[in-house]
Amino acid sequence: MNIVVLAGGLSPERNVSLSSGSLISAALKRRGHKVLMADVYEGVAIDKDNPYDMFTSEPCEAYTVSREVPDLDEIKRRNGNRRELIGSGVLELCKTADLVYVALHGDMGENGQLQAVFDVFGIKYTGSGYIGSLLAMDKDIAKKILSEAGVRTPSWILCDSAFCDTQRILSEIGLPCVVKPISSGSSVGISIVNTENELMKAFELAKPYGESLMVEKKIEGREFTCGILEGRVLPPVEIIPKQGFYDYKNKYQAGATVEICPAEIDEIQLERISLATGKAFEALKLSGYARFDYIMDSDGEFWCLEANTLPGMTPTSLFPQEAKAVGIDYDELCERIAMTALKK
């Protein structure tokens, strides 16, 4: 088939997306497909006379994830400060393909906007639809739905990023707490706050990523993630950062985190995280595949932190590790995800 792998964009997770996209493209080519990877923001020049010749089986450029969040203002400047999020030729290219593999992370690629556009144009794409993407990406909405569905999630309040109401935070949530943007992934803009003096700094770090942010009670315990693929819950991974918490740097720099898959938990704990994952997937109206992050407390109970509708597919990403644990190698995983687009 002819497949467009859509990556890049103007998300703080842009570099992660480009890395995922390049690896997905290579995997799909090894499975016999013709692929064109395109940056959704920077666009692509369409060969109107021979559009199908743009898809190729030739090896593509590989990307690595830098230690720092990308300079999005520089990306905008080199594109004439264009405000449109979808670049020239992208929709035309996607209409030409048999399907679009959405390798984007964050913002438009994960909040339902792109999925809604594709639905309007009848373009087949991987991952959840616009409703599920929207519900999962907004952490406040997602946590309300998870709570209603009986999935434990830490208590939280929503705050204006421009004003740190210290007394409200201390009285309603207390310390330690976690300050995070409500619609970002890859731990961008997240801080763990242990003292009152750290609250203002945490708000400043999160402020560039949206007008609203969340202050969440910090659950002490072991950190896990658990994926689901085509209705099958995959073995969970335990995440143990060597330093600090599982932030942007520790997620994407090789060797920064110890990851144990399958996680070393007992049968009761495995049943609990698997049941929570299935409930969360259904409650948020997701489809195809997703991944959920958890903390297990000292009583062995799992607290769901957030949903990831487009899990990373970089060399250090967790979802491919979970699939491998049940005998699905990286190339097969990419193809299986791609095939879910044809079932919509």
Neighbour count for residue 235 (Cβ, 10 Å): 19
Largest CA distance in the chain: 65
Q: Which helix (H) or strand (E) holds 319?
A: helix 319-324
Provide the 3-class DSSP secondary structure of residue 254. coil
- Parallel, antiparallel, or unpaired: how do β-strands 302-308 and 289-296 relate? antiparallel
The Cα 216–Cα 198 span in angstroms is 14
Q: Crossing angle of helices 330-340/14-30, nearest 10°?
A: 100
C-alpha–C-alpha distance, residues 224 and 234, integer Å:
12
In sign, the C-alpha dihedral spanning 53, 55, 59, 63 is positive
SS3 content of the chain, % helix, strand, coil (to 5): 35, 20, 45
Q: Which positions are catalytic?
A: 13, 186, 252, 291, 293, 306, 308, 312
Q: Contact, 240 vs 257, CB < 8 A?
A: yes
